[in-house]
Structure 1
Amino acid sequence: MPIISTFYGIIIQMYWDDHAPPHFHAVYAEDEVVIEIRTLGILRGKMSRRGLALVLEWAQEHREELMEDWELCTQHQSPKKISPLL
């Protein structure tokens, strides 16, 4: 699964040709969540409050880039890297 960003120990990934709705995976220590890009709602998983807040802040800033990467992945193309949360 391609890694599209990493920050503060959080890894953001997307699968190639994954199922709808458009989403990304965030892994932080032993926790993992799947976040819908359009609503930033949690589709499944759990994460610490601090980790989830960082992921959602990052996703809010990069929603358009996440959708572009989702489209690339649905076409079996490598997603582009997205800047980390600073």
Structure 2
Amino acid sequence: MPKISEFFGIRIFMYWNDHNPPHFHAEYNDLKALISIQDGVVIEGMLPNRQLKLVLAWCEIHKSELMENWLIAEQHGEIHKIKPLQ
């Protein structure tokens, strides 16, 4: 699973040819969540409130890049890194 970004101890991943709806995986310590790209909501799992707010803000900023990566992943292409929060 390619890591597309990392910030403040949070790791963001995206699988090739993953199931719909378009989403990414966020991990912080041992906690994991699937986040909807279009809605910016947790589909499954959980993260601490502070980290979730950071992930959702990052998602909103990079929504178009995330969707582009999703479309590339569906075609088994090379998923691009996305700039982290700073």
Task: Tell me the TM-score normalized by structure 2.
Answer: 0.98
Q: Could you tell me how far apart the structure 2 residues matched to 1:11 and 1:64 are?
A: 19
Q: Is the 1:2–1:78 contact (alpha carbons within 8 Å) kept by the matching residues of 2?
A: no
Letter matched to residue 68 of structure 2:
E
Partner of 1:19: 19
Q: Which runs of 5+ in 1 are unaligned?
A: none
Deviation >3 Å, runs of 4+:
none
How far did 1:41 drift? 1.1
Q: Deviation digits for residues 19-52 of structure 1, max 9, x if unmatched?
A: 0000000000111110010001111001100110
Determine whether 1:82 maps to 2:78: no
Q: Deviation digits for residues 52-86 of structure 1, max 9, x if unmatched?
A: 01100111100000000000100011211100001
Letter matched to residue 83 of structure 1:
K
Partner of 2:9: 9
Q: Could you tell me how far apart the structure 2 residues matched to 1:56 and 1:33 are?
A: 11
Q: Could you tell me how far apart the structure 1 residues matched to 2:63 and 2:5 are?
A: 13
Q: Is the 1:26–1:55 contact (alpha carbons within 8 Å) kept by the matching residues of 2?
A: yes
Q: Could you say what secondary structure the match of 1:25 adopts?
A: strand
Letter matched to residue 19 of structure 1:
H
Task: Tell me the TM-score normalized by structure 1.
Answer: 0.98
Q: Which runs of 5+ in 2 are unaligned?
A: none
Q: Could you say what secondary structure the match of 1:6 adopts?
A: strand
Determine whether 1:45 maps to 2:45: yes
